[in-house]
A and B are shown apart, each in its own frame.
Chain A
Amino acid sequence: MENSTDDYKIQSLDVDAQKILKTALKDPSAVNLEKVSNIIVDQSLKDQVFSKEAGRICYTIVTAEAKQRTGLVFRKNLLNRLQQEFNDREETRARSLHAWTCFVTFICNIFDYLKVNDMPMVVLVHPVFDCLMRLGQPDALMNEEEVDCLVLQLHRIGEQLEKMNSQRMDELFFLLRDGFLLQDGLTSMARLLLLEILEFRAGGWMLSGTAHKYYYSEIAD
């Protein structure tokens, strides 16, 4: 069963790019895979919606390429481009919070989808943690956009991430507790998000029924 390419949310790309991607999804050997990975990464840094879904596109291309047995060129290009962006993340953050949060969303999405032997790629574990730790820093917690990004990623991949390295997860949560308790100037929304994620993890990466009610139900007047 083939996913219609609408599922991949590529509408935001220009027509040529869309065409290349569609081809890549079916027949990777027919396109320049370095170009494809650049298109995907570039778009992920601009478009929040795309960055949440890009992992699936990448997964499909990698799988298709593996079947063709031409070597995993796309994956290699993608990862190396990702690594570049990771190395430049501080500049990206200084330039644009939006691009920075898109990047984090993207790399976490890749972590989630691009598995090797049914396990997340080991090489991404520390970089992902580095990004999340950055989001947990005092200056980042002041921005709701960054807090929102942080808790979203933890909801999506926290459990898997913890399995790969629980020590770093502990460290991250030390930071988050500190931020929640000690930091002046946090918006109440930021504090709400932090409290929810603290409870979420404490509950084994899920919320109890009552907690869920508290955070997610409409408040009746």
Chain B
Amino acid sequence: MSDWTKDRRHSTEQDRRSNGPSRWSNCRKRGVDGSLRAGGGERENNNRHPDERSSSFTTPESTGPVSRCSMASDWGSLVQEDEDIRRDVQRDMQRRRILGTEVAQRERKTSSGSSGSHDSKDEDNIETDEAVLLRRQKQINYGKNTLAYDRYIKEVPKHLRQPGVHPKTPNKFKKYSRRSWDQQIKLWKVKLHAWDPPAGEDQEETQDHEEQLELGDVMDIELDFPTLLPPCAAHSLSVQGEDEDFSGTPVKLQKTEDVEPGMF
């Protein structure tokens, strides 16, 4: 082998070693053995920078989202959960289809030519890709499966919620770029932290939070989250492969080098 090829091989090896398993394993909430990772795995995460956030979003001050109940890590339950999420998403899609026509009819009746744009009701602005919807639903579930969320919905009934002040679940049916969506989820969860139980309080079993399918989850009737990027910029960003990493973990922004300064 010539010297040139030897060097080339050598450097590729090194690149691969440092980028290897830890790149994908960082995103996983569970280790390979199925156990939940707290904030990092065992062998695979040696390369992680000490300041790096754990795979669940956290604000700097808190220790992490307080889960109401531990999500299952055994394969039997995980498969069941995946099936359940899929069923829920399909149900949501169906409801949306039914409700969509109703709301559209209502609006036509009361239409006054106002400037309010409801273009998300246009067919081309609705997300229909099931894989995307499933992933988004999982991310939403992670946020809702927290004590903070339970306390929030008890404390602030829907009709008292103020846009901007109170967290609003991102609408999974709207078209967003991958980055925009992930960002919304992240900000939503950060906002929910305001309702974290005070440290030291007994984490009593809250009642089982039935998935209250709120109208807002399938339709966007109130004002939405402000678009975080101007639409043209959002579309020009390379959207990460939508089919990657289906393991049941919250997806965070993975390519931190893409983040523009001042983004946060």
Among B140-148, B196-204, B216-224, B238-246, the stretch that binds chain A is B238-246
User: Please, how many angstroms separate the alpha-carbon atoms of A36 and B244 in the complex?
Assistant: 34
Q: Does A121 sit at the interface, judged by CB under 8 A?
A: yes
Among A4-12, A73-81, A93-101, the stretch that binds chain B is A73-81
User: Please, how many angstroms separate the alpha-carbon atoms of A123 and B83 in the complex?
Assistant: 12
Q: Does A151 sit at the interface, judged by CB under 8 A?
A: no
Task: Determine whether the beta carbon of A164 is less than 8 Å from that of B246.
Answer: yes
Which single member of A122, A124, A178 contacts B248 (CB below 8 Å)? A122
Could you tell me which residues of chain B, from 1 to 58, have a CB within 8 Å of some CB in chain A? 13, 16, 20-21, 23-24, 28, 32-34
What's the minimum C-beta distance from B142 to chain A, rounded to whole angstroms?
A: 16
Task: Give the chain B neighbours of A76 by CB distance below 8 A.
Answer: 76-77, 79-80
Task: Give the chain B neighbours of A117 by CB distance below 8 A.
Answer: 83, 86
Q: Does A87 sit at the interface, judged by CB under 8 A?
A: yes
Could you tell me which residues of chain A, from 156 to 181, have a CB within 8 Å of some CB in chain B? 163-168, 171, 174, 178
Task: Give the chain A neighbours of B86 by CB distance below 8 A.
Answer: 117
Interface string of B64-85 (1 = CB under 8 A from A): 0000000000111111101100
Q: Does B227 sit at the interface, judged by CB under 8 A?
A: no
User: Please, how many angstroms separate the alpha-carbon atoms of A76 and B24 in the complex?
Assistant: 27
Q: Does A138 sit at the interface, judged by CB under 8 A?
A: no
Could you tell me which residues of chain A, from 39 to 75, have a CB within 8 Å of some CB in chain B? 72, 75
Which single member of A116, A126, A165 contacts B79 (CB below 8 Å)? A116
What's the minimum C-beta distance from A133 to chain B, rounded to whole angstroms?
A: 8
Q: Does A125 sit at the interface, judged by CB under 8 A?
A: yes
Interface string of A117-140 (1 = CB under 8 A from B): 100011111110010000000000
Task: Determine whether the beta carbon of B244 is less than 8 Å from that of A123.
Answer: no
Task: Give the chain B neighbours of A126 by CB distance below 8 A.
Answer: 28, 32, 247
Task: Determine whether the beta carbon of B33 is less than 8 Å from that of A87.
Answer: yes
Tell me the total A-B contact number using a CB cutoff of 8 A.
Answer: 70
Nearest residue in A to B73 (C-beta to C-beta)?
A: A83
What's the minimum C-beta distance from A50 to chain B, rounded to whole angstroms?
A: 21
Task: Give the chain B neighbours of A174 by CB distance below 8 A.
Answer: 16
Nearest residue in B to A171 (C-beta to C-beta)?
A: B20
User: Please, how many angstroms separate the alpha-carbon atoms of A167 and B32 in the complex?
Assistant: 16
Chain B interface category by residue count: 20 to 34
Task: Give the chain A neighbours of B246 by CB distance below 8 A.
Answer: 122, 125, 164-165
Task: Determine whether the beta carbon of B75 is less than 8 Å from that of A80.
Answer: yes
Task: Give the chain B neighbours of A164 by CB distance below 8 A.
Answer: 243, 246
Task: Give the chain A neighbours of B32 by CB distance below 8 A.
Answer: 126-127, 130
Task: Determine whether the beta carbon of A77 is less than 8 Å from that of B76.
Answer: yes
Q: Does A147 sit at the interface, judged by CB under 8 A?
A: no
Task: Determine whether the beta carbon of A168 is less than 8 Å from that of B75.
Answer: no
Task: Determine whether the beta carbon of A123 is less than 8 Å from that of B28.
Answer: no
Which single member of B16, B75, B83, B243 contacts A82 (CB below 8 Å)? B75
User: Please, how many angstroms separate the alpha-carbon atoms of A72 and B77 in the complex?
Assistant: 10
Task: Give the chain A neighbours of B243 by CB distance below 8 A.
Answer: 163-164
Task: Determine whether the beta carbon of A72 is less than 8 Å from that of B75.
Answer: no
Task: Give the chain A neighbours of B248 by CB distance below 8 A.
Answer: 122-123
Nearest residue in B to A170 (C-beta to C-beta)?
A: B16
User: Please, how many angstroms separate the alpha-carbon atoms of A72 and B75 in the complex?
Assistant: 13
User: Please, how many angstroms separate the alpha-carbon atoms of A208 and B32 in the complex?
Assistant: 36
Task: Give the chain B neighbours of A122 by CB distance below 8 A.
Answer: 78-79, 82, 246-248
Nearest residue in B to A72 (C-beta to C-beta)?
A: B80
Nearest residue in A to B1 (C-beta to C-beta)?
A: A181
Task: Give the chain A neighbours of B247 by CB distance below 8 A.
Answer: 122-123, 125-126
What's the minimum C-beta distance from B28 to chain A, rounded to whole angstroms?
A: 7
Task: Give the chain B neighbours of A168 by CB distance below 8 A.
Answer: 24
Contacts A167-B24, A168-B24, A171-B21; is A123 near B16 (CB within 8 Å)? no
Task: Determine whether the beta carbon of B78 is less than 8 Å from that of A123.
Answer: yes
What's the minimum C-beta distance from B132 to chain A, rounded to whole angstroms?
A: 15
Can you show 10 pairs from A to B with CB atoms below 8 A apart?
A77-B76, A79-B79, A80-B76, A83-B34, A117-B83, A122-B78, A123-B78, A123-B247, A124-B75, A126-B28
Q: A76-B77, A123-B79, A165-B24 are in contact. List 9 more A-B contacts (CB 8 A).
A: A75-B79, A78-B76, A117-B83, A121-B82, A125-B247, A130-B32, A164-B243, A171-B16, A171-B20
Q: What 5 pairs between A and B have smallest CB-CB spacing?
A: A76-B76, A79-B75, A79-B76, A122-B246, A123-B78
